[in-house]
Structure 1
Amino acid sequence: MVLTAQPEAWDGIPNPFAKLSHQVAPNSGYAVKLGDFDTLFKERFSKRSRGTLNRKERNDGCLLRAEDPPIR
């Protein structure tokens, strides 16, 4: 069994697997504190990226409507 990207603690409780021999994961991106989505969105994405994502969301919403028949 291979356990990858194990945090050192979960909710303040030490991870017992962290005591085994290991090397630090190259990316700790698996851990993010969730809170207000708008704040997280603004912190993680640049203004340009947010604009692109919002534009794509608007455009995708126009492609299919609820009354359209399913695509087969």
Structure 2
Amino acid sequence: MAIDLASFWGKNVRVKTDDDQVFEGLVQAYESVEDSDTGIDSIDIVHTKQFPHNILGLDRNEIVNIEEVDA
């Protein structure tokens, strides 16, 4: 089943990546396949523990699992 990344825009999430890292934060932006330079849709996450003052960008192919969590 394909993950609908756009449905997580504006929500707090927990994301597991393909290199077994786990990030929690707010999805600040979604970039569609059509708008992406790489042809891969992606999300930007803010307020992660690992990067509290920076934006974390993740492409769909890096995301193993994503779920909404309470703030």
Bigger CA radius of gyration: 1
TM bin, normalised by shorter chain, reads under 0.3
Larger helix percent: 1
Higher relative CO (Cα under 8 Å, sequence separation at least 6) belongs to 2
Which structure: greater strand fraction? 2
TM-score by length of 2: 0.23
